[in-house]
Amino acid sequence: MNTAMHCFLFYTHTKMISFYSCVAQVNGGSQSFNAVNTLRLLARWMRMPCCTNQSSIAKAWQEFDNNGRMKESNFRERVIDVAEEFAKFTAVMAPVKEDLTDRYSERKEKIEKGRLLSQAEKESEKAKTTMIEEARKS
């Protein structure tokens, strides 16, 4: 079993949410890193900063004691390094979250519509506009 751990900071329109993502691949190999890299791409696509540190634990089932705690090892130290970096990244990003989540297009939409519309509402509005334009052409 190969376990990859990756840390993300998720930002929403109103608040920042810290989130750990742990991806496990039973078959081992590079698949867990592929999954983590896909999560990174999704985070970037959604305009989310993400902490890029990660850790793999080879034969993870052997790295825990009977109480579920990681045994002292280089793997444990690496996981702690990742967790510390995530905490530091959160501490650096949290004070500027308002600046990072404040977008012109969203401010404009709130002024024009009174709130942010869902994607379904935007698609419906677009379809209505298209129908009206086609009716005018006829």
The answer to whether residue 73 scores a pLDDT higher than 90 is: yes
Sheet holding 50-58, edge to edge: 16-25, 2-11, 50-58
User: Do residue 111 and residue 45 come from a single domain?
Assistant: no
The answer to whether residue 123 scores a pLDDT higher than 90 is: yes
User: Do residue 16 and residue 37 come from a single domain?
Assistant: yes
Residue 129 belongs to what domain range? 104-137
Cα–Cα dist 70/89, whole Å: 23
User: Do residue 75 and residue 108 come from a single domain?
Assistant: no
Q: What is the pTM of this model?
A: 0.57
User: Do residue 17 and residue 46 come from a single domain?
Assistant: yes
Domain count along the chain: 2
In the structure, what pLDDT confidence band is assigned to residue 7 with cuts at 50, 70 and 90? very low
Q: Do the Cβ atoms of 56 and 4 come closer than 8 Å?
A: yes
- What pLDDT is attached to residue 31? 62
User: Do residue 37 and residue 23 come from a single domain?
Assistant: yes
